[in-house]
Amino acid sequence: MIDLVATARSLFAPGKGILAADESVHTATARLASYGVEAGEEMRRQYRDLFLGAPGIEQYLSGVILFSETLLEKGNDTKPFPVSLASRGILPGIKVDLGTEPFPASPQELITQGLLDLPVRLAEYKKRGAVFTKWRAVVRIDGDQLPTALATHENAKRLASYAKEVQMAGLVPILEPEVLYKGAQSRQRARAVISQTLGTLFSVLKEQAVDSASIVLKTSMALSGDASGKKDTPEEVAEDTLAALVESVPRQVAGIVFLSGGQTPDQATENLAAITKRAALVRAPWPLTFSYARALQEEALSIWKGKEENVPAAREAFLSRLAKVSAAL
């Protein structure tokens, strides 16, 4: 019997967090294009190897979330990526949702797909070495209009069904209802939406008898929207983020990880430092860490540009950012 609580808790090893390297083919292609890299399958593999093959990442990473394509590929060390990660003590995870589609009852909002064939895919991912999974729901704020209660509830139901399937398959589920940072909303509005979203999620999880001790919550920070013209201080972000979490997340949850959501690497690092500092002060009951994609990768990608000769310098930038984010814990 796999101890899911112990696996979930081990993602919160001191000074360590998670690299989200689970961009879909579509997102990875667009991301690389924004750095001038034209990406086919082999270039995407090299992109993954840049990060996953970097010597020394095990000092800072407890886990890596992979995309299904990467789970099946080998690194430049000729080992399958999940095997190579596990040999360095890093838990391999896998994104299992299949992206979003418009919600028919409120077409400006998105719901997440991927439940239909989930049990079959989970068995295959587990065979390949994955020990945890991620499902992302997207929450858009638009004034007082969005999100609607209906969409919030539909995404919560799907997250709960996902979590149940994953636990039954013997894997740890990360539940990620991402409240987007895009928009003109105030930080207070973001805080309220995070709190409502999580309140609905945890009441549905309870109704469906999902074991919350072996789930990990992945959340956004409470930030003023990127079009609000307001720049929050890390202390403001920490206060509102923790207030939203304390209001709505049960204490038995294995831990909470943060996404970077389009913040700059420095912003995501400074805000995390303020959050962990305040969490100790208010005695928040859960372990906290990072689960960043963009904030960990951005600096390295701007150096790499798809060129072999830039790999050492790009990896150095990645390790230096990991050290800073780890120091924020």
Residues involved in catalysis: 176, 218
Please report how close the Cβ of residue 261 comes to ligand 13P at its closest, in angstroms: 4
First-to-last alpha carbon distance for the chain, in angstroms, is: 31
100: Cα separation from own chain's centroid: 16
DSSP state of 249: S
Local structure of 313: helix, strand or coil? helix
Distance CA 167, CA 132 (A): 9
- Give the other-Cβ count within 10 Å of 180's Cβ: 20
Local structure of 146: helix, strand or coil? strand
Say which residues have a Cβ less than 8 Å from residue 176's Cβ, sequence separation at least 6. 134, 135, 136, 137, 217, 218, 219, 259
Residues 238, 240, 246, 249, CA torsion sign: negative
Say which residues have a Cβ less than 8 Å from residue 201's Cβ, sequence separation at least 6. 156, 159, 160, 175, 177
Q: Which of 170, 284, 164, 263 is nearest to 220 (CA)?
A: 263
Say which residues have a Cβ less than 8 Å from residue 246's Cβ, sequence separation at least 6. 282, 284
What residue ranges bind ligand 13P (CB under 6 A)? 20, 136, 176, 178, 259-261, 292-295
Distance CA 59, CA 143 (A): 42
Task: Identify residue 237 by its one-letter amino acid code.
Answer: V
